[in-house]
Structure 1
Amino acid sequence: MPDAPIDLTYDGPLAIITLNAPPLNLFTPDMMAALKSALAHVTDSEARGLLLQAEGRAVSAGVDVNFFTTLDAVSGAAVWRDWLDFIHALEDLPIPTVFAAHALCLTAAFEISLACDLILAAESARFGLVEIVVGLTPSMGGPQRLVERAGPARARELIYTGELFGAATLEQWNVVNRVLPDEGFREAAHAFALRLANGPTRAHAATKLITAAAARNGARAADDLTPLVSGALLASEDLQNAIASFLTDGPGKATYTGR
């Protein structure tokens, strides 16, 4: 619909959620409701990958501050629980998720990016958790996910200062995965995500489970999980078809069809 704050489209196996509430893609209850609806659609679809991106001069300028005037301690806690449910659903998707930041990316949008598997950023993109300007701490899981990527000291620095950080700096801190040229960024990010979506979905899902277990509970916890999730891959259509195409067509020509 033309007035919807987000767009959901598909390019073959790749689902694409686009923030489309110009000029600043501000986060409101309507924006979050639309995102939750789109994510539910992707979850129920046959998508093998997800790209999150934005239209406009900013990825997002963050949450609409007017919304905070409607909240008290009780209703605010309920909102954060609801919005964290979205973060968890995004994180738990059993397919690769890629966030593409082409420009300024603040607060809620930045926190959503941290729940994705990979973050791609244009050279001129800037990121910030600037909640200190209204006396708040980031409450959509950003601090704890920054700790996973960059460590607690960097997370505190980014949040305490409320400063904006460039893509190159956050790549050095292991927050951003890749910095790409501004020119052609959208097309490059799309191609990258599509390549992942065309890969072995079941193997990617196993990788997500193993790396999450290692990040949160250590390598031995991931070791305990690996035989279960990796062993199950031997029954997947992806693996069986890939092995057949490998043996028929040779190395580097495997195809993944099925789950």
Structure 2
Amino acid sequence: MSATKPTNLTREFTDAGAEFATITLTNPPLNLFDRAMMDALVADIAALTAQTPRAVLIRAEGKVVSGGVDVNVFDGLTVEQGAQLWRDLFGRIIHPLEALACPVVFAAHGLTLTAAFEMSLACDIILATPKAKFGLVETVVGLTPSMGGPQRLAERAGSGRAREFVMTGDLYDAATMADWGVVNAIHDDLDSAACALVTRLADGPTMAHAATKQIIEAWRSGGVAHADSVTPEVSGQLFGTADLRGAVRSFLEVGPGKATYRGE
């Protein structure tokens, strides 16, 4: 384990003054999800929840994004302790990450295994380099992925693909993941592409992006009918925002695409 914190949370501003944040995994060579990494991510996500920026980027330093979970975390756990581990990781990492009221982008430049891949699936958009590889390889220790990976992979790629991915424990390249609808885009210069996208999203109508997330979450939990039932109220609230009022005025006065947003 690194003597320093295994993640780094930074906050920056776009040229237009929109705040965005970056969480970087900084515990090479493998960026393993040990207790220290998990605790650091819990703290980082809690900080973003308390003071939410207008976009978030999650990335990693080193040759790989992550070699997965440090297996020492599992050693000797009882049935109840194992169940509590997953409750904690859902409740303190996955669900709060999904609930952030802003776009969240995950950038994968290399090998992305188990917990790191499951965390990426809780993000809104996944970018990758052509050399990135992804895997849920928990079968090597007789486990199934338990931070939401199978169900979120099934949502993006279909249940048959998710079964194959998890049961074989094979590694899949970025092109395959893009073909399956898991990876949104592949870039040779990932850092530049990720930065450009996060900047664009941060400069956008943040409250509208948050509403989009709420509507899609309603669909995920209850299907189209449930999403339809919440959309009028969720979307209706946007008419009380300065961003919508200003953008409508801008559209009417000078045409589309010229509005600026403050996240208000």
TM range (shorter): over 0.9
Aligned partners of 2:127 and 2:190 also within 8 Å: no
1:148-207 residue CA offsets vs partner (Å, 9 max, x unmatched): 1111111000000000000110111111111112xx211211111121111101110111
Q: Say what the alpha-carbon RMSD is for the aligned residues.
A: 1.5
Partner of 1:73: 79
Alignment of 1:1-259 (within 5 A): 3-12=4-13, 13-85=19-91, 86-181=93-188, 184-259=189-264
How many residues are paired up? 257
Shift of 1:46: 4.4
Aligned partners of 2:174 and 2:183 also within 8 Å: yes
Q: Name the CA distance, whole Å, in 2 between partners of 1:70 and 1:53.
A: 31
1:109-162 residue CA offsets vs partner (Å, 9 max, x unmatched): 000000001111111100000000110000101011111111111100000000
With normalisation by structure 1, the TM-score equals 0.95
1:89-126 residue CA offsets vs partner (Å, 9 max, x unmatched): 10111110111001000000000000001111111100
Q: Name the CA distance, whole Å, in 1 between partners of 2:151 and 2:211.
A: 23
Shift of 1:2: 7.6
With normalisation by structure 2, the TM-score equals 0.93
Gaps of 5+ in 2: 14-18
Shift of 1:29: 1.3
> Structure 2 counterpart of 1:81, which letter?
R
Q: Name the CA distance, whole Å, in 2 between partners of 1:50 and 1:234.
A: 25
% identical equivalent positions? 55
Gaps of 5+ in 1: none
Q: 1:258 to 1:116 in 2, by over 3 A?
A: closer
